[in-house]
Amino acid sequence: MRRVMLCLRVVVALSILGGTVIAAEPTARIVTLGDSITKGVRSGVKPQETFAALLQAALKEQGREVEVTNVGIGGERTDQALKRLDKIIALKPGIVTVMYGTNDSYVDIGKTESRITVDEYRDNLMQIVKRLRKAGIQPVLMTEPRWGKTAKQNGVGEHPNLRLEKYVAACREVAKKMEVPLVDHYQIWTDAETAGTTIGDWTTDQCHPNPEGHRYLNQAIVPVVLKSLPADK
């Protein structure tokens, strides 16, 4: 009996002195939906260096106990995202960030057209937004970051940004028309390049962000997500 009482006293004392660590329950869940740029992990990029991981850490610093779940899949397009959207909705997130366009717009070797037309891309984004909202989830649209200057030409001999720009414009149109919060990574990276930054230095291969690139993505995402989170109770 004395041993039990002693144990209880130790537990109480530890609690008072802050000796026990009790994990706070997350107040909201955020899902990051996208392609390999969202997935992030690749040679030179660790899981904790992706913008999804950085987002959770940044929100925690702001006092927000939020769980961020990264569901990015390499090579994915908007039409493929639609096919698995029910699984995303089943996670019951409060917010879903949506970033597509690099794969949708790309022209493969031996082809003459983008993998998905810009009209199909626009319609797919609108469907994603509608279905998320119907489920009570706040979508946050994000444009893809631009390719570096020395990126390899696509299947028709163009710099891939020439195609991607049209899809970026479509993403902005959807965000404006449907009044969805937008994180315009493409514009931010364009402005940085105009100011003299070598965008390729933010990537592993002129396309996929390296740890520095993910930090810049996260810096742009945090303020938009904070505005979309429910107020602390």
What are the boundaries of each domain within the chain? 24-228
d(C-alpha 157, C-alpha 108), whole Å:
10
pLDDT, position 27: 75
**Which element (helix H / strand E) includes 66?**
strand 66-70
d(C-alpha 139, C-alpha 164), whole Å:
21
Residue 30, token pair as written in the block: 């955020």
d(C-alpha 113, C-alpha 116), whole Å:
8
pLDDT, position 230: 84
Question: String of b and e for 44-72 (b: at least 16 CB within 10 Å)?
Answer: ebeeebbbbbbbbebbeeeebebbbebbb
- Segment 117-143, tens digit of pLDDT: 999 999 999 999 999 999 999 999 999
Q: Spell out, as residue ranges, where the chain has pLDDT lower than 50.
A: 1-23
- Segment 185-209, tens digit of pLDDT: 999 999 999 999 999 999 999 999 9
d(C-alpha 155, C-alpha 143), whole Å:
22
* pTM greater than 0.95: no
- The architecture of the domain spanning 24-228 is 3-Layer(aba) Sandwich (3.40)
Q: Is 116 helix (H, G, I), strand (E, B) or coil?
A: coil
pLDDT, position 231: 75
